[in-house]
Structure 1
Amino acid sequence: MLEINNVTKTFGTGDSLFQALKGVSLSVKEGEFVGIMGPSGSGKSTLLNLIGTIDHPSSGTVTIDGERASNLNQEDLAKFRRNQLGFVFQGFNLMPTLTVAENIVLPLTLDGEKVSVMTKKLNDISEVLGIESLLNKRISNISGGQAQRVAIARSMIHEPKLLLADEPTGNLDTKSSKDVMRLLSELNTSLNSTILMVTHDAFAASYCQRIVFIKDGELSDEIIRHSSQSEFYDDILFSLKQLEGEADDF
């Protein structure tokens, strides 16, 4: 599904050059739920931006479902991003002037989809996510946890090949965080959705099947879940301590 080959990313010019990524290579299979963790400034968000085609690598390649985004022109790239990728952000990025339903179908609206098709997909995804009762409400009238569910619905309504989540629980309380992570896990299991999530939260990461650790722009370690979620959580904490000495820094 995703193949990252020897990717580098350099910012700045002349004496102010900063290499954010240093030859990163990573493969993600279809249906995997993979977490990316590391200290602040380690390159997590830079890597996610490259995968999401928001930015381009300085060298190396990013291939998603056989397609290299760097080979596409701006129009085709925008279409590829809308059709093949789903995005879930910490800040929700919802349109406050629109209803929940209007926010969810926005990707389909931009593609000029038929109303009948949009209605069916809206009903299907809202039922899966348990937000049918919210469809006619404004974003300002729902809770943070509900808003993140709406954001997930919007990201999934066009059935993307790859869902990218950037700190999806960062603005949520403990209960809402658990609800959102359970939801992402269920989407991964029931719909075979491929999910790549950047997080600093070890508990959120424990819902993943595999964790990749990045430090100073390089992949430093990887652990795979072989047992219970609680045991995997302990494994993640141990790996974080090994990486930086203190898991609290993440």
Structure 2
Amino acid sequence: MLTVQHLTKTYGETIQYQALKEINLTIEDGEFVGIMGPSGSGKSTLLNLLATIDQPTSGEVLLNGQNPNRLNPEQIAQFRRRELGFVFQSFNLMPTLTVEENIILPLTLDGEKVSVMKQKLKEIAPRLGIETLLKKRIAEISGGQAQRVAVARAMIHQPNLLLADEPTGNLDTKSSKDVMGLLRQLNEEEKATIMMVTHDPLAASYCKRIVFIKDGQLIHEISRQTSQKHFYDEIMVELSRIEGVDNEF
């Protein structure tokens, strides 16, 4: 599905800062992978490179064998719309559009037939529990509902890879659990391939695998073997070790 080979990203000319150093990562079809690490570790830089929002200094990103960085700007935009889905901390929904219009926006931009858009909307809205919200404006729904709408928009065109950037960052505890449960359901039932950047260990415990990054390098990874509670405890121990926190208290 996704292969990252010797990926580096350096910013600046006179004074250079290497944000990513020789990153190698593989995500298989149907995986749910979390990326964690301290602030400034390179999480967002990695996500931006995978999302084709930024270009690597060296190395390559391959999605199903295709390197989007070799495409021209128009082709990259099309690649992003068709191959990738995005869920952001701030939802990034269009306030002037209805819930329905926000969800079908990727299909609209791709010139899809109205009949196809209606059918896909009819299929996805009930699965995400938002079928009663379709005619409402974004200002009329809660944060948790808005993030469900964002997930529906990200999934309606059945992307090969869903990229989530701190998807629970603006949500309360209940809404966070609802959204993470939804992402896990999409992964398990729809076989959606998901990569999520998060600082929240509870959100991370919904993943199947966690890759830890520090100072621009992937340093460790753990996989869920038993219960979610046990995986959460493993994540907490690893974060304490990486961040140098005394865990005796």
TM class by shorter-chain length? Answer: over 0.9
Equivalence map 1:143-222=2 (5 Å):
143-222=142-221
Residue identity (%):
66
Between the aligned partners of 2:244 and 2:202, the Cα distance in structure 1 is 18
Q: Which amino acid aligns with 2:4?
A: I
RMSD: 1.0
Aligned-partner SS, 1:170: coil
What's the CA shift for 1:246?
A: 2.9
Aligned-partner SS, 2:132: helix
Equivalence map 1:62-211=2 (5 Å):
62-211=61-210
Q: Which amino acid aligns with 2:2?
A: L
Partner of 2:11: 11
What's the CA shift for 1:66?
A: 1.2
Q: Which amino acid aligns with 2:5?
A: N
Q: Is the 8 A contact 1:36 1:199 kept in 2?
A: yes
Between the aligned partners of 1:10 and 1:222, the Cα distance in structure 2 is 24
Partner of 1:53: 52
Q: Deviations over 1:33-67 (max 9, x none)?
A: 00000000000000000001111110001001111
Between the aligned partners of 1:22 and 1:169, the Cα distance in structure 2 is 28
Between the aligned partners of 1:247 and 1:148, the Cα distance in structure 2 is 35
Between the aligned partners of 1:5 and 1:98, the Cα distance in structure 2 is 40
Q: Which amino acid aligns with 2:160?
A: K
Aligned-partner SS, 1:134: coil
Between the aligned partners of 2:179 and 2:64, the Cα distance in structure 1 is 26
Partner of 1:246: 245
Aligned-partner SS, 2:233: helix
Q: If the length of structure 1 is used for normalisation, what is the TM-score?
A: 0.98
Q: If the length of structure 2 is used for normalisation, what is the TM-score?
A: 0.98
Change (3 A) 1:150 1:3: same
Between the aligned partners of 1:124 and 1:236, the Cα distance in structure 2 is 35
Aligned residue pairs, count = 247
Between the aligned partners of 1:7 and 1:18, the Cα distance in structure 2 is 15
Q: Which amino acid aligns with 1:227?
A: T
Q: Deviations over 1:87-135 (max 9, x none)?
A: 0000000000100000000000001100000000011110110100000
What's the CA shift for 1:245?
A: 2.1
Aligned-partner SS, 2:24: strand
Q: Is the 8 A contact 1:100 1:150 kept in 2?
A: yes
Between the aligned partners of 1:192 and 1:120, the Cα distance in structure 2 is 20
Partner of 2:39: 40
